[in-house]
Structure 1
Amino acid sequence: MRNTVLSYFMLPLLAVASFSLNAAPASAVSTPAAIVSEVPSRLDLNTADAGSLQSALIGIGKAKAQAIVDYRDEHGAFATVDELLEVKGIGQALLDRNRDRLTVDN
């Protein structure tokens, strides 16, 4: 009985020890070069289509992306990234989250 109880406790303990010994330390994990070298460039508000805006920006869905394109079509090219605040549904917090992802090339 004593050996049976002891084996029930030892089996999970050995399994955990075995998994932790086989795990690679965080410094040994390598990242593929393709992922590291793929730095996203800034998205130009004056040339991006709705699909690009939707996929590249945080918190921008299909409707807001289309609103940005519609605003650009109606009012002309964006002069600054801050002009995005004029688009209905785009607030300061949303702009701040995406500012580093956007540019306006004139």
Structure 2
Amino acid sequence: MEMFKKLLLSLLLGCALAINAAGTIDINTADKETLMSIKGIGEKRAEAIIAYREEHGPFKSVDDLAEIEGIGPALIESNREILTVATPAN
């Protein structure tokens, strides 16, 4: 039971780090579950976002999501208010 509590706490902390106080989601740091909380993003698209991010590096703008198959301007616009891209640390 103690292990379950630690795992749950770790998951919650990870999600909290990806979602800031304003309720936005940083697409450069969000995990799969957090990405799946975005309207129109299911498991496959969340995995595609992470794969793209790992292959090409951090997103420079929210509009870069359009480079991913299955994500177009309409999906980006409908979620623009909650999506953000943090400047990567050097």
Given the two structures, how large is their TM-score scaled by the length of structure 1?
0.60
1:1-52, Cα deviation, whole Å (9 max, x unpaired): xxxxxxxxxxxxxxxxxxxxxxxxxxxxxxxxxxxxxx75110011001110
User: What is residue 20 of structure 1 aligned with on the other side?
Assistant: none
Q: Distance in 2 between matches of 1:67 and 1:96?
A: 19
- Give the count of matched residue pairs: 67
- Which stretches of structure 1, 4 residues or more, deviate above 4 A after TM superposition? none
Match of 1:78 among 59, 63, 77: 59
**2:27 corresponds to which letter in structure 1?**
L
Structure 2, unaligned stretches of length 5 or more?
A: 1-20
Matches within 5 A, 1:85-96: 85-96=66-77
Structure 1, unaligned stretches of length 5 or more?
A: 1-38
Residue 30 of structure 2 is aligned to residue 48 of structure 1: yes
**1:75 corresponds to which letter in structure 2?**
H
* SS of structure 1 residue aligned to 2:28: coil
Q: Distance in 1 between matches of 2:79 and 2:32?
A: 15
User: What is residue 64 of structure 1 aligned with on the other side?
Assistant: 45
Given the two structures, how large is their TM-score scaled by the length of structure 2?
0.71
Q: Distance in 2 between matches of 1:44 and 1:73?
A: 15
Percent sequence identity is: 49
* SS of structure 2 residue aligned to 1:58: coil
Higher fraction of helix: 1
**1:47 corresponds to which letter in structure 2?**
T
User: What is residue 35 of structure 1 aligned with on the other side?
Assistant: none
Q: Return the index of the structure with the highest Cα Rg.
A: 1
**1:53 corresponds to which letter in structure 2?**
L
Root mean square deviation, CA, Å = 1.2
